[in-house]
Structure 1
Protein backbone atom coordinates (compact mmCIF):
# COMPACT_ATOMS: atom_id res chain seq x y z
CA UNK A 1 0.00 0.00 0.00
CA UNK A 2 1.18 3.55 -0.76
CA UNK A 3 2.28 5.27 2.43
CA UNK A 4 0.18 8.28 1.42
CA UNK A 5 -2.82 6.12 2.32
CA UNK A 6 -1.49 5.50 5.82
CA UNK A 7 -3.36 7.39 8.54
CA UNK A 8 -1.52 9.08 11.42
CA UNK A 9 -3.18 9.46 14.82
CA UNK A 10 -2.32 10.08 18.47
CA UNK A 11 -1.23 6.86 20.19
CA UNK A 12 -3.99 5.54 22.47
CA UNK A 13 -4.48 2.55 24.77
CA UNK A 14 -6.14 0.40 22.11
CA UNK A 15 -2.97 0.65 20.00
CA UNK A 16 -0.82 -1.10 22.62
CA UNK A 17 -1.46 -4.66 21.43
CA UNK A 18 -0.57 -3.76 17.85
CA UNK A 19 2.57 -1.96 18.99
CA UNK A 20 3.68 -4.96 21.06
CA UNK A 21 3.14 -7.22 18.04
CA UNK A 22 5.36 -4.93 15.94
CA UNK A 23 8.12 -4.98 18.53
CA UNK A 24 7.98 -8.76 18.83
CA UNK A 25 8.38 -9.11 15.06
CA UNK A 26 11.46 -6.88 15.35
CA UNK A 27 12.84 -9.10 18.18
CA UNK A 28 12.53 -6.32 20.77
CA UNK A 29 12.13 -7.68 24.33
CA UNK A 30 9.44 -5.16 25.37
CA UNK A 31 6.37 -6.44 27.16
CA UNK A 32 3.03 -4.65 27.00
CA UNK A 33 3.83 -3.27 30.46
CA UNK A 34 7.08 -1.76 29.14
CA UNK A 35 5.26 -0.03 26.29
CA UNK A 36 2.58 1.22 28.69
CA UNK A 37 5.11 2.71 31.10
CA UNK A 38 6.81 4.77 28.39
CA UNK A 39 3.48 5.79 26.83
CA UNK A 40 2.28 7.07 30.23
CA UNK A 41 5.25 9.48 30.25
CA UNK A 42 5.03 10.44 26.58
CA UNK A 43 3.09 11.71 23.63
CA UNK A 44 2.97 9.29 20.73
CA UNK A 45 1.98 9.00 17.11
CA UNK A 46 0.79 5.83 15.45
CA UNK A 47 0.67 4.94 11.74
CA UNK A 48 -2.37 2.91 10.78
CA UNK A 49 -3.19 0.79 7.76
CA UNK A 50 -6.92 0.46 8.32
CA UNK A 51 -7.09 -0.64 11.95
CA UNK A 52 -3.62 -2.23 11.94
CA UNK A 53 -0.67 -0.55 13.66
CA UNK A 54 2.17 -0.34 11.14
CA UNK A 55 4.40 2.19 12.91
CA UNK A 56 4.91 4.21 16.09
CA UNK A 57 7.03 7.05 17.44
CA UNK A 58 7.02 8.54 20.95
CA UNK A 59 8.30 11.81 22.42
CA UNK A 60 9.03 11.75 26.15
CA UNK A 61 9.39 15.29 27.54
CA UNK A 62 11.64 16.12 30.47
CA UNK A 63 10.47 19.59 31.40
CA UNK A 64 10.48 22.26 28.70
CA UNK A 65 14.10 21.90 27.63
CA UNK A 66 14.76 18.24 26.82
CA UNK A 67 13.06 15.15 25.40
CA UNK A 68 13.87 11.68 24.16
CA UNK A 69 12.42 10.22 20.98
CA UNK A 70 11.81 6.53 21.31
CA UNK A 71 9.84 3.44 20.31
CA UNK A 72 10.25 4.43 16.66
CA UNK A 73 9.35 1.27 14.78
CA UNK A 74 7.88 0.44 11.37
CA UNK A 75 6.28 -2.78 10.18
CA UNK A 76 8.95 -4.72 8.29
CA UNK A 77 6.85 -4.92 5.09
CA UNK A 78 6.40 -1.13 5.11
CA UNK A 79 10.08 -0.22 5.45
CA UNK A 80 11.95 1.70 2.78
CA UNK A 81 8.95 3.88 1.92
CA UNK A 82 9.68 6.91 4.10
CA UNK A 83 7.29 5.96 6.90
CA UNK A 84 10.04 6.02 9.55
CA UNK A 85 11.00 9.53 8.50
CA UNK A 86 7.39 10.74 8.70
CA UNK A 87 6.93 9.22 12.16
CA UNK A 88 10.19 10.72 13.42
CA UNK A 89 9.21 14.11 12.01
CA UNK A 90 5.88 13.85 13.84
CA UNK A 91 7.67 13.13 17.11
CA UNK A 92 10.02 16.06 16.53
CA UNK A 93 7.01 18.32 16.01
CA UNK A 94 5.68 17.19 19.38
CA UNK A 95 9.04 18.04 20.97
CA UNK A 96 8.93 21.65 19.77
CA UNK A 97 12.09 23.55 20.69
CA UNK A 98 13.38 20.95 23.15
CA UNK A 99 16.78 19.36 22.79
CA UNK A 100 16.04 15.84 21.50
CA UNK A 101 17.98 12.70 22.29
CA UNK A 102 17.58 9.19 20.92
CA UNK A 103 19.44 5.93 20.45
CA UNK A 104 19.88 4.70 16.88
CA UNK A 105 20.76 1.41 15.26
CA UNK A 106 23.40 1.50 12.55
CA UNK A 107 20.61 1.14 9.98
CA UNK A 108 18.71 4.12 11.42
CA UNK A 109 21.75 6.39 11.71
CA UNK A 110 21.57 7.92 8.18
CA UNK A 111 17.91 8.91 8.63
CA UNK A 112 18.53 10.62 11.95
CA UNK A 113 21.60 12.41 10.61
CA UNK A 114 19.46 13.82 7.78
CA UNK A 115 17.03 15.10 10.42
CA UNK A 116 19.80 16.98 12.22
CA UNK A 117 20.88 14.47 14.87
CA UNK A 118 24.57 14.12 15.74
CA UNK A 119 26.14 10.95 17.17
CA UNK A 120 27.71 11.43 20.61
CA UNK A 121 28.74 7.98 21.87
CA UNK A 122 27.90 4.28 21.82
CA UNK A 123 25.72 2.41 24.30
CA UNK A 124 26.89 -1.04 25.39
CA UNK A 125 24.11 -3.50 26.20
CA UNK A 126 25.03 -6.19 28.74
CA UNK A 127 22.81 -9.08 29.76
CA UNK A 128 22.81 -12.59 31.11
CA UNK A 129 21.98 -14.84 34.05
CA UNK A 130 23.28 -13.48 37.33
CA UNK A 131 25.55 -15.63 39.47
CA UNK A 132 26.32 -15.40 43.16
CA UNK A 133 27.56 -11.94 44.10
CA UNK A 134 28.31 -10.58 47.56
CA UNK A 135 26.44 -7.47 48.64
CA UNK A 136 28.69 -4.50 49.50
CA UNK A 137 28.14 -3.18 53.01
CA UNK A 138 28.12 0.48 51.98
CA UNK A 139 24.84 0.28 50.02
CA UNK A 140 21.28 0.12 51.33
CA UNK A 141 17.73 0.28 50.02
CA UNK A 142 15.94 3.62 50.30
CA UNK A 143 12.26 4.46 50.20
CA UNK A 144 10.04 6.98 48.38
CA UNK A 145 11.09 9.72 50.80
CA UNK A 146 14.45 9.78 48.99
CA UNK A 147 12.91 10.61 45.59
CA UNK A 148 13.54 14.39 45.67
CA UNK A 149 17.24 13.76 46.34
CA UNK A 150 17.44 11.11 43.60
CA UNK A 151 15.73 13.41 41.10
CA UNK A 152 18.18 16.20 41.94
CA UNK A 153 21.18 13.90 41.48
CA UNK A 154 19.79 12.61 38.19
CA UNK A 155 19.21 16.17 37.00
CA UNK A 156 22.86 17.00 37.70
CA UNK A 157 23.97 13.94 35.70
CA UNK A 158 21.39 13.92 32.88
CA UNK A 159 20.88 17.65 32.44
CA UNK A 160 17.09 17.78 32.71
CA UNK A 161 14.30 17.30 35.24
CA UNK A 162 13.01 13.71 35.07
CA UNK A 163 10.79 13.78 38.16
CA UNK A 164 7.87 12.10 36.37
CA UNK A 165 10.13 9.25 35.26
CA UNK A 166 11.35 8.71 38.81
CA UNK A 167 7.80 8.59 40.13
CA UNK A 168 7.11 5.87 37.56
CA UNK A 169 10.31 3.97 38.43
CA UNK A 170 9.37 4.04 42.12
CA UNK A 171 6.17 2.15 41.28
CA UNK A 172 8.09 -0.50 39.35
CA UNK A 173 10.96 -1.36 41.70
CA UNK A 174 13.25 -0.25 44.53
CA UNK A 175 16.20 2.13 44.72
CA UNK A 176 19.59 1.40 46.29
CA UNK A 177 21.81 4.22 47.55
CA UNK A 178 25.21 5.11 48.96
CA UNK A 179 25.31 7.76 51.66
CA UNK A 180 28.00 10.09 52.94
CA UNK A 181 26.81 10.81 56.45
CA UNK A 182 23.12 11.62 56.10
CA UNK A 183 23.37 12.62 52.44
CA UNK A 184 22.72 10.30 49.48
CA UNK A 185 25.59 10.68 47.01
CA UNK A 186 24.91 7.84 44.54
CA UNK A 187 22.00 5.54 43.67
CA UNK A 188 20.66 2.87 41.33
CA UNK A 189 17.23 1.51 40.42
CA UNK A 190 15.95 -1.89 39.32
CA UNK A 191 12.66 -3.11 37.89
CA UNK A 192 11.09 -5.81 35.68
CA UNK A 193 11.72 -5.33 31.96
CA UNK A 194 11.61 -7.49 28.86
CA UNK A 195 12.96 -11.01 29.40
CA UNK A 196 13.72 -10.43 33.08
CA UNK A 197 14.93 -7.41 35.00
CA UNK A 198 16.96 -4.28 34.32
CA UNK A 199 19.38 -2.34 36.52
CA UNK A 200 19.35 1.39 35.79
CA UNK A 201 19.62 4.24 36.01
CA UNK A 202 22.87 4.23 37.97
CA UNK A 203 24.07 7.69 39.00
CA UNK A 204 27.31 7.96 40.95
CA UNK A 205 30.38 10.07 41.65
CA UNK A 206 32.83 7.43 40.39
CA UNK A 207 33.12 3.96 38.95
CA UNK A 208 33.73 2.32 42.35
CA UNK A 209 30.39 3.59 43.63
CA UNK A 210 28.70 2.43 40.43
CA UNK A 211 30.15 -1.08 40.83
CA UNK A 212 29.05 -1.26 44.46
CA UNK A 213 25.50 -0.19 43.60
CA UNK A 214 25.23 -2.73 40.79
CA UNK A 215 26.77 -5.52 42.86
CA UNK A 216 24.37 -4.80 45.70
CA UNK A 217 21.36 -5.08 43.40
CA UNK A 218 22.66 -8.16 41.57
CA UNK A 219 23.35 -9.91 44.89
CA UNK A 220 19.60 -10.37 45.22
CA UNK A 221 19.03 -11.63 41.68
CA UNK A 222 20.99 -14.88 41.53
CA UNK A 223 19.76 -17.09 38.68
CA UNK A 224 17.70 -14.31 37.06
CA UNK A 225 18.08 -12.74 33.62
CA UNK A 226 19.36 -9.18 34.03
CA UNK A 227 20.09 -6.41 31.52
CA UNK A 228 22.19 -3.26 31.99
CA UNK A 229 22.73 -0.55 29.33
CA UNK A 230 25.81 1.59 29.90
CA UNK A 231 27.52 4.47 28.07
CA UNK A 232 30.70 3.18 26.42
CA UNK A 233 32.80 5.51 28.59
CA UNK A 234 31.33 4.23 31.89
CA UNK A 235 34.29 1.95 32.56
CA UNK A 236 32.09 -1.00 33.55
CA UNK A 237 32.02 -3.24 30.49
CA UNK A 238 34.84 -5.68 31.32
CA UNK A 239 33.66 -5.89 34.94
CA UNK A 240 30.10 -6.71 33.87
CA UNK A 241 31.37 -9.39 31.49
CA UNK A 242 33.27 -10.87 34.43
CA UNK A 243 29.96 -11.15 36.26
CA UNK A 244 28.44 -13.11 33.37
CA UNK A 245 26.59 -10.19 31.76
CA UNK A 246 27.82 -10.45 28.18
CA UNK A 247 28.17 -7.50 25.84
CA UNK A 248 25.57 -8.09 23.11
CA UNK A 249 25.94 -4.92 21.05
CA UNK A 250 24.08 -1.68 21.50
CA UNK A 251 22.89 1.46 19.72
CA UNK A 252 24.42 4.87 19.11
CA UNK A 253 23.38 7.83 21.28
CA UNK A 254 22.44 10.92 19.27
CA UNK A 255 21.31 14.47 20.00
CA UNK A 256 19.57 17.25 18.06
CA UNK A 257 19.48 20.89 19.10
CA UNK A 258 21.97 20.36 21.93
CA UNK A 259 22.10 23.10 24.52
CA UNK A 260 24.75 23.71 27.16
CA UNK A 261 23.94 21.35 30.03
CA UNK A 262 27.29 21.29 31.77
CA UNK A 263 27.28 18.58 34.41
CA UNK A 264 28.10 19.50 37.95
CA UNK A 265 31.41 18.19 39.21
CA UNK A 266 29.57 15.67 41.38
CA UNK A 267 27.85 12.83 39.53
CA UNK A 268 27.38 11.19 36.15
CA UNK A 269 25.27 8.45 34.62
CA UNK A 270 26.86 4.99 34.63
CA UNK A 271 23.79 3.05 33.43
CA UNK A 272 20.63 4.12 31.62
CA UNK A 273 17.04 3.80 32.77
CA UNK A 274 16.57 2.29 29.32
CA UNK A 275 17.71 2.88 25.76
CA UNK A 276 14.37 4.64 25.19
CA UNK A 277 14.56 7.01 28.15
CA UNK A 278 18.29 7.62 28.60
Structure 2
Protein backbone atom coordinates (compact mmCIF):
# COMPACT_ATOMS: atom_id res chain seq x y z
CA UNK A 1 0.00 0.00 0.00
CA UNK A 2 1.34 3.45 -0.92
CA UNK A 3 2.51 5.60 1.97
CA UNK A 4 0.52 8.82 2.05
CA UNK A 5 2.22 12.19 2.16
CA UNK A 6 0.75 15.62 2.91
CA UNK A 7 1.15 16.41 -0.80
CA UNK A 8 -1.46 13.73 -1.58
CA UNK A 9 -4.10 15.80 0.22
CA UNK A 10 -5.97 18.78 -1.20
CA UNK A 11 -7.82 21.34 0.93
CA UNK A 12 -11.10 22.50 -0.65
CA UNK A 13 -14.09 24.60 0.34
CA UNK A 14 -17.17 22.71 1.53
CA UNK A 15 -20.81 23.53 0.98
CA UNK A 16 -24.27 22.07 1.69
CA UNK A 17 -23.79 19.47 -1.07
CA UNK A 18 -21.01 17.89 1.03
CA UNK A 19 -23.26 17.18 4.01
CA UNK A 20 -23.63 13.44 3.40
CA UNK A 21 -19.88 12.81 3.15
CA UNK A 22 -19.23 15.01 6.16
CA UNK A 23 -21.80 13.05 8.17
CA UNK A 24 -20.02 9.84 7.25
CA UNK A 25 -16.88 11.18 8.94
CA UNK A 26 -18.74 12.29 12.07
CA UNK A 27 -20.44 8.90 12.37
CA UNK A 28 -16.97 7.32 12.44
CA UNK A 29 -16.33 9.41 15.56
CA UNK A 30 -19.66 8.27 17.08
CA UNK A 31 -20.92 11.85 16.93
CA UNK A 32 -24.73 12.02 16.81
CA UNK A 33 -25.15 14.57 14.01
CA UNK A 34 -27.88 13.75 11.52
CA UNK A 35 -27.70 14.77 7.88
CA UNK A 36 -30.06 17.63 8.75
CA UNK A 37 -27.68 18.82 11.49
CA UNK A 38 -24.79 18.99 9.03
CA UNK A 39 -26.94 20.84 6.50
CA UNK A 40 -27.91 23.32 9.22
CA UNK A 41 -24.26 23.99 10.04
CA UNK A 42 -23.07 24.20 6.45
CA UNK A 43 -25.83 26.69 5.64
CA UNK A 44 -24.42 29.24 8.12
CA UNK A 45 -20.72 28.36 8.05
CA UNK A 46 -17.64 28.51 5.86
CA UNK A 47 -16.41 24.95 5.54
CA UNK A 48 -13.11 23.44 4.43
CA UNK A 49 -12.43 19.80 3.70
CA UNK A 50 -9.47 17.55 3.01
CA UNK A 51 -9.66 15.35 -0.09
CA UNK A 52 -7.45 12.32 -0.70
CA UNK A 53 -7.95 10.09 -3.75
CA UNK A 54 -11.31 11.72 -4.37
CA UNK A 55 -12.60 11.00 -0.86
CA UNK A 56 -13.41 13.45 1.95
CA UNK A 57 -11.03 12.64 4.82
CA UNK A 58 -11.27 15.75 6.99
CA UNK A 59 -13.60 18.64 7.80
CA UNK A 60 -13.53 21.94 9.65
CA UNK A 61 -16.11 24.73 9.82
CA UNK A 62 -15.95 28.42 10.68
CA UNK A 63 -19.28 29.91 11.78
CA UNK A 64 -19.03 33.72 11.70
CA UNK A 65 -21.05 35.94 14.03
CA UNK A 66 -21.18 39.53 12.89
CA UNK A 67 -18.03 41.63 12.59
CA UNK A 68 -16.22 40.51 15.74
CA UNK A 69 -16.22 36.76 16.26
CA UNK A 70 -16.70 33.21 15.00
CA UNK A 71 -16.60 29.63 16.19
CA UNK A 72 -14.36 26.88 14.83
CA UNK A 73 -16.12 23.54 14.82
CA UNK A 74 -16.66 20.08 13.33
CA UNK A 75 -12.91 19.52 13.12
CA UNK A 76 -12.64 15.87 12.11
CA UNK A 77 -9.82 13.82 10.58
CA UNK A 78 -10.38 10.29 9.29
CA UNK A 79 -8.53 7.86 11.62
CA UNK A 80 -6.60 6.47 8.64
CA UNK A 81 -5.22 9.96 7.92
CA UNK A 82 -3.94 10.92 11.34
CA UNK A 83 -0.30 11.69 11.96
CA UNK A 84 0.07 13.83 8.83
CA UNK A 85 -0.66 17.19 10.48
CA UNK A 86 -4.01 17.36 8.72
CA UNK A 87 -5.93 18.64 11.75
CA UNK A 88 -3.52 21.55 12.13
CA UNK A 89 -3.71 22.34 8.43
CA UNK A 90 -7.51 22.46 8.53
CA UNK A 91 -7.62 24.71 11.60
CA UNK A 92 -4.99 27.02 10.13
CA UNK A 93 -7.13 27.37 7.01
CA UNK A 94 -10.10 28.32 9.23
CA UNK A 95 -8.01 30.94 10.98
CA UNK A 96 -7.01 32.38 7.61
CA UNK A 97 -10.70 32.69 6.75
CA UNK A 98 -11.38 34.28 10.15
CA UNK A 99 -8.83 37.04 9.59
CA UNK A 100 -8.89 39.41 12.56
CA UNK A 101 -12.02 37.94 14.15
CA UNK A 102 -11.92 36.45 17.63
CA UNK A 103 -12.37 32.66 17.38
CA UNK A 104 -13.96 30.35 19.93
CA UNK A 105 -14.23 26.58 20.12
CA UNK A 106 -14.96 23.68 22.46
CA UNK A 107 -11.93 21.40 22.66
CA UNK A 108 -11.58 17.78 23.62
CA UNK A 109 -8.67 16.88 25.87
CA UNK A 110 -6.96 15.35 22.84
CA UNK A 111 -7.29 18.57 20.88
CA UNK A 112 -6.03 20.92 23.61
CA UNK A 113 -2.30 20.81 22.71
CA UNK A 114 -2.96 21.72 19.07
CA UNK A 115 -5.28 24.58 19.90
CA UNK A 116 -2.90 25.97 22.52
CA UNK A 117 -0.11 26.00 19.94
CA UNK A 118 -2.40 27.97 17.62
CA UNK A 119 -3.04 30.66 20.22
CA UNK A 120 -6.25 29.47 21.88
CA UNK A 121 -6.61 29.96 25.64
CA UNK A 122 -8.93 28.00 27.95
CA UNK A 123 -11.79 30.07 29.35
CA UNK A 124 -14.02 27.48 31.06
CA UNK A 125 -15.42 23.96 31.03
CA UNK A 126 -18.52 22.48 29.40
CA UNK A 127 -20.54 19.61 30.88
CA UNK A 128 -22.55 17.53 28.43
CA UNK A 129 -25.65 15.81 29.86
CA UNK A 130 -28.13 13.68 27.98
CA UNK A 131 -30.74 10.98 28.32
CA UNK A 132 -34.47 10.36 28.33
CA UNK A 133 -36.27 12.80 30.63
CA UNK A 134 -37.83 10.69 33.37
CA UNK A 135 -38.86 13.30 35.95
CA UNK A 136 -42.22 15.04 35.73
CA UNK A 137 -41.48 18.68 36.49
CA UNK A 138 -43.89 21.57 36.91
CA UNK A 139 -43.22 25.13 35.81
CA UNK A 140 -44.86 28.54 35.54
CA UNK A 141 -44.14 31.91 34.04
CA UNK A 142 -42.70 31.06 30.62
CA UNK A 143 -44.25 31.84 27.26
CA UNK A 144 -43.55 30.81 23.67
CA UNK A 145 -41.71 33.30 21.49
CA UNK A 146 -43.17 34.70 18.29
CA UNK A 147 -41.30 36.18 15.30
CA UNK A 148 -41.99 39.58 16.86
CA UNK A 149 -39.66 38.69 19.74
CA UNK A 150 -36.64 38.16 17.47
CA UNK A 151 -35.04 41.56 18.08
CA UNK A 152 -35.26 41.13 21.87
CA UNK A 153 -33.76 37.63 21.62
CA UNK A 154 -30.85 38.82 19.51
CA UNK A 155 -30.21 41.78 21.81
CA UNK A 156 -30.06 39.67 24.98
CA UNK A 157 -27.88 37.08 23.25
CA UNK A 158 -25.46 39.85 22.24
CA UNK A 159 -25.37 41.14 25.83
CA UNK A 160 -24.35 37.68 27.06
CA UNK A 161 -21.81 36.83 24.35
CA UNK A 162 -20.66 40.07 22.78
CA UNK A 163 -21.40 38.48 19.40
CA UNK A 164 -24.03 39.19 16.75
CA UNK A 165 -25.73 35.82 16.32
CA UNK A 166 -28.82 37.28 14.66
CA UNK A 167 -28.62 34.89 11.68
CA UNK A 168 -28.35 31.88 13.99
CA UNK A 169 -31.17 33.00 16.29
CA UNK A 170 -33.44 33.67 13.30
CA UNK A 171 -32.70 30.18 11.96
CA UNK A 172 -33.32 28.57 15.35
CA UNK A 173 -36.66 30.29 15.88
CA UNK A 174 -37.81 28.76 12.59
CA UNK A 175 -37.07 25.28 13.98
CA UNK A 176 -39.13 25.59 17.13
CA UNK A 177 -40.31 28.54 19.27
CA UNK A 178 -38.06 29.75 22.09
CA UNK A 179 -39.32 29.82 25.66
CA UNK A 180 -39.24 33.34 27.11
CA UNK A 181 -39.30 34.75 30.61
CA UNK A 182 -40.28 38.41 30.89
CA UNK A 183 -40.79 40.86 33.73
CA UNK A 184 -41.52 44.58 34.02
CA UNK A 185 -37.98 45.36 32.86
CA UNK A 186 -38.24 43.33 29.66
CA UNK A 187 -36.75 40.04 28.55
CA UNK A 188 -35.22 38.22 31.52
CA UNK A 189 -34.11 35.10 29.66
CA UNK A 190 -34.77 32.64 26.86
CA UNK A 191 -34.25 28.98 26.02
CA UNK A 192 -34.30 27.15 22.70
CA UNK A 193 -34.93 23.45 22.09
CA UNK A 194 -34.63 21.99 18.62
CA UNK A 195 -34.32 18.57 16.96
CA UNK A 196 -30.74 17.34 17.02
CA UNK A 197 -28.95 14.01 17.02
CA UNK A 198 -30.86 11.34 18.92
CA UNK A 199 -33.65 13.66 20.03
CA UNK A 200 -33.54 17.35 20.99
CA UNK A 201 -30.88 19.73 22.26
CA UNK A 202 -31.60 22.39 24.88
CA UNK A 203 -29.72 25.59 24.11
CA UNK A 204 -28.90 28.32 23.86
CA UNK A 205 -30.20 29.20 27.29
CA UNK A 206 -29.40 32.79 28.21
CA UNK A 207 -30.61 34.55 31.35
CA UNK A 208 -30.00 37.69 33.38
CA UNK A 209 -29.91 35.86 36.72
CA UNK A 210 -29.70 32.37 38.21
CA UNK A 211 -33.38 32.23 39.16
CA UNK A 212 -34.42 32.95 35.57
CA UNK A 213 -32.04 30.25 34.39
CA UNK A 214 -33.57 27.69 36.75
CA UNK A 215 -37.12 28.54 35.64
CA UNK A 216 -36.23 28.22 31.95
CA UNK A 217 -34.20 25.06 32.52
CA UNK A 218 -37.03 23.39 34.43
CA UNK A 219 -39.65 24.40 31.85
CA UNK A 220 -37.52 23.17 28.95
CA UNK A 221 -36.86 19.81 30.56
CA UNK A 222 -40.52 19.42 31.56
CA UNK A 223 -41.66 19.90 27.96
CA UNK A 224 -39.56 16.92 26.91
CA UNK A 225 -40.78 14.35 29.42
CA UNK A 226 -40.28 10.86 27.99
CA UNK A 227 -38.04 12.16 25.19
CA UNK A 228 -34.29 12.15 24.60
CA UNK A 229 -32.73 15.49 25.50
CA UNK A 230 -29.17 16.82 25.48
CA UNK A 231 -27.82 19.95 27.16
CA UNK A 232 -24.28 21.38 27.19
CA UNK A 233 -23.92 23.40 30.39
CA UNK A 234 -21.40 26.18 31.02
CA UNK A 235 -19.69 26.94 34.33
CA UNK A 236 -22.49 29.43 35.08
CA UNK A 237 -24.94 26.51 35.37
CA UNK A 238 -23.01 24.54 38.00
CA UNK A 239 -25.53 25.17 40.78
CA UNK A 240 -28.33 23.39 38.91
CA UNK A 241 -26.48 20.27 37.74
CA UNK A 242 -28.41 18.24 40.34
CA UNK A 243 -31.72 19.29 38.73
CA UNK A 244 -30.49 18.09 35.35
CA UNK A 245 -29.25 14.76 36.66
CA UNK A 246 -32.40 14.15 38.73
CA UNK A 247 -34.42 14.59 35.52
CA UNK A 248 -32.57 11.65 33.96
CA UNK A 249 -29.85 13.49 32.02
CA UNK A 250 -26.54 11.85 32.91
CA UNK A 251 -23.16 13.49 32.45
CA UNK A 252 -21.56 11.85 29.41
CA UNK A 253 -18.64 14.12 28.65
CA UNK A 254 -17.85 17.70 27.94
CA UNK A 255 -15.03 19.87 26.74
CA UNK A 256 -12.92 22.93 27.34
CA UNK A 257 -14.12 26.33 26.10
CA UNK A 258 -11.27 28.15 24.37
CA UNK A 259 -10.79 31.54 22.74
CA UNK A 260 -8.22 32.88 20.31
CA UNK A 261 -8.27 36.69 20.63
CA UNK A 262 -8.61 38.70 17.46
CA UNK A 263 -7.92 42.29 16.56
CA UNK A 264 -11.67 42.76 16.79
CA UNK A 265 -12.44 40.94 20.04
CA UNK A 266 -15.92 40.18 21.33
CA UNK A 267 -16.78 40.76 24.98
CA UNK A 268 -20.05 40.43 26.92
CA UNK A 269 -21.57 43.86 27.39
CA UNK A 270 -24.09 43.37 30.20
CA UNK A 271 -25.43 41.25 33.03
CA UNK A 272 -26.77 38.27 31.05
CA UNK A 273 -24.91 34.96 30.88
CA UNK A 274 -24.96 31.86 28.70
CA UNK A 275 -25.97 28.86 30.82
CA UNK A 276 -26.35 26.28 28.03
CA UNK A 277 -24.76 26.26 24.59
CA UNK A 278 -26.64 26.27 21.30
CA UNK A 279 -24.36 23.30 20.60
CA UNK A 280 -20.67 22.70 21.12
CA UNK A 281 -20.22 23.58 17.45
CA UNK A 282 -22.15 26.83 17.78
CA UNK A 283 -21.14 27.72 21.40
CA RMSD in angstroms comes to 1.4
Cα deviation code 1:65-95 (max 9, x no counterpart): 1010001100011012100000000011110
From 251, 265, 271, give the equivalent of 1:266: 271
- Distance in 1 between the 2:163 and 2:269 partners? 12
Give the Cα separation in 2 of the matches to 1:63 and 1:273.
Answer: 17
- Contact 2:34–2:197 at 8 Å: present in 1 too? yes
State how far apart, in whole Å, the 1-side matches of 2:35 and 2:245 are: 29
Q: Of 159, 169, 177, which aligns to 2:162? A: 159
- 1:215 counterpart (215, 218, 224): 218
Give the Cα separation in 2 of the matches to 1:254 and 1:72.
14
Write the distance in 1 (CA, Å) between the matches of 2:274 and 2:143. Answer: 19
Instruction: Give yes or no for the alignment of 1:245 onto 2:244.
Output: no
**What's the TM-score once normalised by structure 2's chain length?**
0.94
The offset of 1:239, in angstroms, is 2.1
Q: What are structure 1's unaligned runs of at least 5 residues?
A: none
Partners of 1:64 and 1:49 lie apart in 2 by: 34
- Give the Å deviation of 1:122: 0.8
> How far apart in 2 are the matches of 1:96 and 1:21?
30
Give SS of 2:254's match: coil
The size of the alignment, in residue pairs, is 278
Q: Matches of 1:242 and 1:132 in 2, distance apart?
A: 7
Contact 1:230/1:271 (<8 A) preserved: yes
Query: Whole-Å Cα distance in 2 between the matches of residues 198 and 137 of structure 1?
Result: 21
Inter-partner Cα distance in structure 1 for 2:193 and 2:233: 14
